[in-house]
């Protein structure tokens, strides 16, 4: 299914979601009743508050109240360790509601071939617009910048200047849109980063604001930008630390799950190897049980390699069931090497300690019996 929204609409939707994250009580605005009713129909518990002249009712310490909605949104699924994230306490002072619900402004024809005459006319419009801006005639300035943009849509400066006028009117989404377009035309536009960073800050998108203001300072130091950055730095740092902590918890959980799956796979492999070893040896487990830790043996890669050889498997079971049978394998280098490794790893459990060159146990002969001929 294709997305029913264009890029501009998606940008506006994303900005609206960011605003709701920063100011969840905005959902009680009368004009958003349709969206509030939809959330309630999905079972979402909204914060209880009365929407007034301010974006939210602050608590005594200047922070927005922690709502049940925020608590539920911040808590991940309960893990085995009951690991739940705590809500972030951010300073929301200065966050406002944007005066524009939709950023719809003239962007000019990007494919337009600008003549020298049109460029000159655009510069004249810009000069008049700057004068109107100085006189705080922001609507007039926006109209003049728009005319200049139509004449020269390749000028990043014009978009940044119009964004500044939008910012003065608290039309934050329009400001962000103009600044983003200016940065597409000129990725080194300090003014575009500056005004977009300020718009993000006023929307409560502190991490985006911090990024843009830092980029602006890298390109061209500005005392005002530095002041704005210091203002939001505590919030931005809290958000970054919160994300890092959440990422570490996620990675730890994934690591534990990976180890659990590996352990289960190893146990399944050991069980399969045990069944294959018994089948290859053609012998049942000796009476009284295996005299060594079979699970440990089957989890050892080197021993499992030995057990792939039916001759070695048969010899191990044979000697485990009757230690006197070791005399049948003393002159078999392959089997002797297997028993030597077995003794080293498992302390010779079930294997005569004198197998490697010692005297045979009482009652055992130094040569195979006539009945055993041909079993080597």
The average pLDDT across 215-241 equals 91
User: What is the per-residue pLDDT for 48?
Assistant: 52
* Residue 322 belongs to domain spanning: 282-372
Q: Is the pLDDT of residue 363 over 90?
A: no
Asked if the structure places residue 314 within a domain, the reply is: yes
The average pLDDT across 242-262 equals 88
Longest dimension (CA), the chain: 119
Q: Is the pLDDT of residue 225 over 60?
A: yes
Asked if the structure places residue 49 within a domain, the reply is: no
Start-to-end CA distance of the chain, whole Å, equals: 70
Asked if the structure places residue 124 within a domain, the reply is: no
In whole angstroms, give the CA distance from residue 44 to residue 73.
Answer: 10
Asked if the structure places residue 365 within a domain, the reply is: yes
Domains: count for the chain: 1
* CB count in 10 Å sphere of residue 194: 26
Asked if the structure places residue 313 within a domain, the reply is: yes
Asked if the structure places residue 68 within a domain, the reply is: no
Asked if the structure places residue 52 within a domain, the reply is: no
Q: Is the pLDDT of residue 68 over 60?
A: no
Q: Is the pLDDT of residue 117 over 90?
A: yes
Asked if the structure places residue 113 within a domain, the reply is: no
Contact by Cβ (8 Å): 198, 164: no
- Mean pLDDT is lowest, of 26-40, 176-190, 346-360, for 346-360
Q: Is the pLDDT of residue 265 over 60?
A: yes
| Overall pTM surpassing 0.75 (yes/no) | no
Q: Confidence class of residue 1 from pLDDT cuts 50, 70 and 90?
A: low
Q: In 3D, which of 218, 217, 219, 180 has the Cα closest to residue 196?
A: 180
């Amino acid at each position: 299914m294709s997305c029913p929204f264009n890029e501009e609409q998606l940008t506006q939707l994303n900005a609206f979601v960011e605003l709701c994250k920063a100011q969840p009580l905005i959902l009680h605005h009368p004009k958003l009743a349709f969206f509030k009713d939809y959330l309630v129909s999905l079972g979402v518990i909204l914060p209880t508050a009365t929407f007034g002249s301010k974006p939210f009712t602050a608590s005594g310490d200047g922070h927005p109240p922690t709502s049940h909605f925020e608590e539920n949104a911040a808590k991940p699924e309960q893990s085995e360790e009951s690991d739940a994230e705590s809500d972030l306490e951010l300073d929301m002072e200065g966050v406002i509601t944007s005066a524009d619900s939709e950023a719809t402004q003239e962007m000019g024809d990007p494919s337009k071939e600008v003549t020298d005459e049109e460029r000159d006319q655009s510069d004249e419009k810009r000069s008049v617009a700057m004068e109107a801006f100085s006189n705080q005639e922001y609507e007039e300035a926006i109209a003049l910048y728009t005319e200049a943009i139509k004449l020269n849509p390749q000028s990043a400066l014009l978009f940044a200047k119009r964004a500044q006028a939008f910012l003065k009117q608290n039309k934050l989404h329009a400001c962000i849109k103009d600044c983003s377009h200016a940065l597409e035309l000129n990725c080194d536009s300090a003014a575009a980063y500056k005004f977009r960073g300020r718009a993000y800050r006023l929307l409560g998108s502190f991490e985006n604001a911090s990024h843009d203001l830092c980029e602006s300072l890298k390109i061209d130091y500005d005392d005002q930008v530095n002041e704005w950055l210091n203002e939001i730095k505590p919030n931005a740092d809290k958000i970054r630390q919160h994300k890092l902590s959440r990422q570490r918890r996620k990675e730890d959980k994934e690591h534990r799950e990976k180890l659990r799956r590996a352990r289960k796979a190893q146990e399944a492999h050991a069980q399969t190897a045990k069944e294959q070893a018994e089948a290859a040896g053609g012998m049942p487990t000796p009476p009284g049980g295996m005299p060594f830790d079979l699970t440990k043996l089957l989890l050892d890669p080197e021993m499992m390699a030995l057990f792939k050889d039916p001759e070695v498997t048969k010899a191990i079971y044979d000697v485990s069931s009757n230690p006197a049978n070791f005399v049948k394998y003393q002159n078999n280098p392959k089997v002797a090497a297997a028993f030597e490794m077995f003794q080293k790893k498992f302390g010779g459990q079930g294997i005569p300690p004198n197998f490697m060159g010692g005297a045979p146990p009482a009652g055992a002969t130094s040569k195979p019996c006539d009945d055993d001929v041909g079993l080597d």
